[in-house]
Amino acid sequence: MPRVPESQPNRLLIALAAVVLVLAACSEPLDDIDSTSTPTSSGSDDTTTENDADDTDPAPAADSDSTSDAETDSGSGTDSGSGTDSGSGTDSGSGTDSGSGTDTDQGDVTGTGQGSEDETDTVSDDGSIVWQHRGEPWFLGTIPATAVAADSSSEPIKIGMINQEDTPIGSFPEVRFAAEAAINWINAELGGVDGRPLEFHWCITPFSPEQSQVCAQEMVQEGVVALVGGINVMSQASFPILEQNGIPVVGGIPAGLTEQRSAFSFTFSGGSSGGLAAFMKHAADNGADKAVIAYGEFDAFEVAAADYGAVVGEHLGLDVKLVRFPVIAADFLPVLNQAIEFEADAVVIAAADSSCVSIMETFKELEIDAQLYLVGACAADHVIEAADGANIGVVFNSEGPPDDADVEGTLFDEVTNRYNNGPAQAAGTVGFRGMMNLYGVLVEIGADQITSQAIIDWLRQSVDRESFWGHPYTCDGRQVPGLRALCAPQQTLFKMETVGEVEYVSGWIDTAELFAASGAGS
């Protein structure tokens, strides 16, 4: 059995906010790009007024302050945004964005991503992102030959999000901005879903269980058919309400065990468990005999390390030692000293990005003769710059494909540049993937048949479905035993010696197979 240290007292609850930074390992390594774009138009939907919002807002404690205006792609149609404001005066916010548009000159696109070769050869440049990549293969088949906007007069399909923002202890607006950019693009260039536009209803929670509940109640009363997952450390407060009302959450970063175990949660991720298992596989394949897994004191990390990472490591022949540290730790010398005493060949540390530079610098100063593994959040550009060479040789994990030329990575860059309402990089890759995969599900179901239950049924029956910029997913609840929400736990590993220069050191690591073979989580 893995060595587990003596239990230590829990730290302040506020420290739990740091855990989501570790889970941001789901983010893909990206080259530097300018993520700021200038809106070309904004507007208000006549069907959504401030008075309407006051009449329908189910959460009198929520400040519905929408700063989200859909933007227009030149040549692809008119894009109209709307917002609601209940003016209730709390520190949290919610909003509505109906980024739909009309275009009568560009043919018919049903949103299936299928385009004919003949059209590709004859259609002139309309300035759209779709036209630039017409005919290229992607997760829905082939990118259409022409862009077409959704019909703004059609009944919108309401999509929600609960996201943690406006708090110094963990704020992630990029996840919302990225999902919103995807919706704006879908409405402006992909024709919505069979012509029906998507309408985005978001609610901000500032690390508050009470506001998380309010947000869930708001999603119910808004009539959203699904939520695209954000980051919400207090999701244990919102999930019971969503489950009672049969509303699925698709994508996002699963910050806690409640959402990882929920039958209404479908994430294209392996969470911390997937990352740790991949590190164990790489270490064993590269000749390691002993491994240390160090993790912050939080229940989701404890489970990931003890029940999944360590079990996989021991199955692969590694002698594994578990080391706990306070989730707000700044000094990692005690952790690394334990690795030295254990004579570890591999050292895995699951820590927030604020700790990454300290870990890498201390590891280098101690001249530890072992492979260091850190979560993908530690490969953010600002971390690599601050590490000043201490990052050389460190291996990070990702849930994106090991192919820098992947068109979907390029689409993410271009769409979030053109259609964003704010910076959408870093963990924004997860919000974008979640929204695009949800869009694919809606297209498969068909606009006239979309209900929350139809989405749930479709996802539960999915097997090896293509994912946007990720590994194919299977949401049968059995990919990670005990954590049924994790539909795509597979990982890739990479090094980033300098900013923007990614070197993959593995292909896809099938952590689902590792869990099954080792009995992890059972």
Domain 51-270+407-473, CATH homologous superfamily name and number: Response regulator (3.40.50.2300)
What is the rounded distance in angstroms from the CA atom of residue 88 to the CA atom of residue 295? 40
Contact, 67 vs 95, CB < 8 A?
Answer: yes
Which pLDDT tens digit goes with each residue over 261-315? Answer: 999 999 999 989 999 999 999 999 999 999 999 998 888 889 999 999 999 999 9
Polymer length of the chain: 522
Phi/psi region, residue 56 (left: phi>0; alpha: psi -120 to 50; beta: rest), is alpha
What is the rounded distance in angstroms from the CA atom of residue 424 to the CA atom of residue 439? 19
Please report, to the nearest 10 degrees, the dihedral formed by the alpha carbons of residues 163, 255, 168, 433 taken in order.
Answer: -50
Encoded tokens for 191: 């024709």
Encoded tokens for 53: 């919002």
Q: Tell me the CA distances in angstroms from 202 to 26, 62, 66, one per residue in order.
A: 21, 12, 9
> Which strands make up the sheet holding 226-228, listed edge to edge?
94-98, 198-205, 157-164, 226-228, 249-250, 265-266
- pLDDT at residue 359 is higher than 90: yes
Which pLDDT tens digit goes with each residue over 122-154? Answer: 568 899 999 999 999 999 999 999 999 999 999
- Output 336 or 424, whichever has higher pLDDT: 336
- pLDDT at residue 455 is higher than 90: yes
Which pLDDT tens digit goes with each residue over 8-32? Answer: 333 334 344 445 445 554 556 654 4
Q: Do the two domains 13-27+271-398+491-518 and 51-270+407-473 of this chain adopt the same fold?
A: yes
Q: Considering the domain 13-27+271-398+491-518 in this protein, what is its CATH number?
A: 3.40.50.2300
Percentage, residues of the chain above pLDDT 90: 63
Res 192: pLDDT = 98
Q: Where are the domains of the chain?
A: 13-27+271-398+491-518, 51-270+407-473
- Output 70 or 463, whichever has higher pLDDT: 463
- pLDDT at residue 397 is higher than 50: yes
What is the rounded distance in angstroms from the CA atom of residue 208 to the CA atom of residue 233? 9
Sign of CA dihedral 191, 268, 202, 263: positive
User: Which residues 6+ apart lie within 8 Å of 420 measured at CB?
Assistant: 35, 36, 37, 71, 177, 178, 180, 181
∠ CA 507-511-512, nearest 5°, is 125
Phi, psi of 200 (to 5 degrees): -100, 120
Res 23: pLDDT = 53
Res 404: pLDDT = 65
Residue 359's Cβ-side half-sphere holds a number of Cα atoms within 13 Å equal to 27
Res 12: pLDDT = 35
- pLDDT at residue 107 is higher than 90: no
- Output 435 or 231, whichever has higher pLDDT: 435
∠ CA 159-42-191, nearest 5°, is 50
Which pLDDT tens digit goes with each residue over 314-347? Answer: 999 999 999 999 877 889 999 999 999 999 999 9
Res 149: pLDDT = 98
Q: Which residues of 292-313 are buried (b: 16+ CB within 10 A; e: fewer)?
A: bbbbbbbebbbbbbbbbbbbbb
Which pLDDT tens digit goes with each residue over 495-504? Answer: 988 877 889 9
Which pLDDT tens digit goes with each residue over 77-102? Answer: 333 333 333 333 333 466 776 554 33
Res 169: pLDDT = 67
Tokens 């479709």 sit on residue: 458
